[in-house]
Structure 1
Amino acid sequence: MQVGVFAKTFAGSEPAGVLAAVRDAGFAVTQFNLACAGLPSMPDAAPEETIRTIDAAAKTTGICLVALSGTYNMAHPDSRVRNDGLRRLAVVIETAAKLSIPLVTLCTGTRNAEDQWAHHPDNVDPSAWADMAREMEKALHLAEHHGVDLGIEPEQANIVTSAADAMRLIAEMGSKRLRIVLDPANLFEQANPEAARIIVAAAVERTAAHVSLAHAKDRFADGRFATAGQGVVDFADFIARLKATGFDGPLVTHGLSAEEAPGVARFLKGLV
């Protein structure tokens, strides 16, 4: 299991500097974001020169790019917004293929038109799932063409809120290219350590063999997000259960400051 971090944890828009910071903080891999190369996260285009610069920086620093962010609101109530997001996702998927990045991470979306990470009561309406599923079918067509996997993350504010939802979507799509990003802190909102452990354990068991990337974010008991190791998530148990399923992929932390990064790297490497 390789320990990594979101590249956006570190300031900068030059890949060499950002990836050097990832390395110097003690990480071996990263989930990259095109904003770290001076582009929008979801750009209209990715110039070949930029792609070469990212590739050179990864090789120079020895940091492996294990995922690329491709998040847009796949359940936005305005189809024009969804269409624009899909157009930009195509750019991200093609870029991932050129950089040999195996996974593009997605956001299954929300009916909240202002914030793709914010809950909306209409998320439970069947039309929201249907819109997201149609979007996912189109995204998977792009992914299959380029040989890249797509990662969905159960997230309380989004359409796919649970491990069960993620498995339902995988079954509906029928594509081996659709994978799961499992973040224990996104599987619940408020919980004590024992309740959190039970929820996370059940999710790991439910998604076994479908997880390509694990995230390491934490929550306090009152629901606020926390740096890994500071909240109610039992990371030793989470990691042990992932290993028991045969998972040996990247464990990538986020939701922390650059100053906290070296300490979190030591904490997670001590567990894996």
Structure 2
Amino acid sequence: MSDLAPRLGIFARTFPRRTPAEVATAVAGAGYALAHWNFAAIGLPTLAVDVEDARFTEVRAAFDAAGLAIPSVSGTFNAIHPDTGLRRRQTEQAVRLIELIGVLGADVLTLCTGTRDPENMWRAHPDNTDPAAWNDLRRTLDPLLDAARAAGVRLGVEPEHGNVVRDAQAAARLLAELGDDAPIGIVLDPANLLTPHTVARQDEIVGEAVDLLGARILGTQAKDVVESGYAAAGAGLMDYPALFAQLDRVAAGPMIVQDASEEDAPRVHADLLRWHAEAAAR
């Protein structure tokens, strides 16, 4: 197994601060080598609306000074929002963000594949399975893919139960339709594929996802399954040493911690390194 420590990161917005330098200091203080950047960490819009180009340079300088890297940037918005005008505006904003993430040193922009729920882009809606929802996702992706190709970066899609790409099968379908040369891949969060009722089948379910998506997995996320939603890794029902054994079958990429509190972030870091070592020793 490849060394996890230099690939282990956390959502920058775990540490909300006034300046990028303060965020970077907090990330480094918790032990992480990487941060998934979101402008919300410094109180600005995720899609960097009205954020001057110079702020991107400021973020990069702050993380460089702290010895940290930014592998990916959040560009989440509701890609199939029922308000077509809002969807069009946010797509245009995401295109600009794609054009600028290279300034941060990142090569992946993460997306939300969307829901027909107009209030919460992570909440499931019965119309998400309608063919029209899939078609709207494809229309939204077209200009984003063009921008990513021109910028030499990739889009990262995360299978999420409440979204159009709700599971590994839907993710595989999207990749197949777009083709092997499309600048898009998968950010795999194994917890999104599990529930308290299915977590006993973790090896089977995660194994199937790795079989379907392995070559296109850009990186992973780490959180845990609990009786009501999600929690920090180690606070729930998942078997992380077994998970690391499955992930060893794909190319080593960043693992980004999600749903950890600032106070719990150092513990999650230490536990993930320990579980990874346990898996390597098996």
- CA distance in 1 between partners of 2:238 and 2:65 (Å): 35
Q: Is the 8 A contact 1:4 1:250 kept in 2?
A: yes
Residue number in structure 2 paired with 1:208: 214
User: Residue 167 and residue 210 in structure 1: after superposition, are their counterparts in 2 closer, same or farther (change >3 A)?
Assistant: same
1:94 maps to 2:70 = no
Residue number in structure 2 paired with 1:150: 155
1:68 maps to 2:73 = yes
- CA distance in 2 between partners of 1:112 and 1:38 (Å): 25
- CA distance in 1 between partners of 2:39 and 2:160 (Å): 22
- CA distance in 1 between partners of 2:246 and 2:149 (Å): 30
Q: Is the 8 A contact 1:151 1:212 kept in 2?
A: yes
Task: Give the 3-state SS of the residue equivalent to 2:70 in structure 1.
Answer: strand
The structural deviation recorded for 1:38 is 4.3
- The superposition leaves residues 60-107 of structure 1 with CA deviations (integer Å, 9 ceiling, x where unpaired) of 001110110000001111211110110110122122022221100000
Residue number in structure 2 paired with 1:267: 271
Q: Is the 8 A contact 1:37 1:50 kept in 2?
A: no
Query: Structure 1: where are the runs of 5+ without partners?
Result: none
- CA distance in 1 between partners of 2:123 and 2:199 (Å): 25
Percent of residue pairs identical? 37
Task: Give the 3-state SS of the residue equivalent to 2:235 in structure 1.
Answer: coil
Task: Give the 3-state SS of the residue equivalent to 2:248 in structure 1.
Answer: helix
- CA distance in 1 between partners of 2:8 and 2:207 (Å): 20
Q: Is the 8 A contact 2:57 2:103 kept in 1?
A: no
- CA distance in 2 between partners of 1:192 and 1:55 (Å): 41
User: Residue 132 and residue 192 in structure 1: after superposition, are their counterparts in 2 closer, same or farther (change >3 A)?
Assistant: closer
Residue number in structure 1 paired with 2:259: 255
Calculate the TM-score normalised by the size of structure 2. 0.92
Q: Find the partner of 1:105 among 104, 107, 110.
A: 110
- CA distance in 1 between partners of 2:252 and 2:120 (Å): 33
1:10 maps to 2:24 = no
Q: How does 1:222-237 map to 2 (within 5 A)?
A: 222-237=227-242
Q: Find the partner of 1:182 among 177, 188, 195.
A: 188
Q: Find the partner of 1:48 among 43, 46, 53.
A: 53
- CA distance in 2 between partners of 1:162 and 1:137 (Å): 21
Of residues 57-66 and 90-99 in structure 1, the stretch that sits farther from structure 2 once superposed is 90-99
The structural deviation recorded for 1:170 is 1.0
Q: Is the 8 A contact 2:39 2:47 kept in 1?
A: yes
Of residues 119-128 and 73-82 in structure 1, the stretch that sits farther from structure 2 once superposed is 73-82
The structural deviation recorded for 1:226 is 1.5
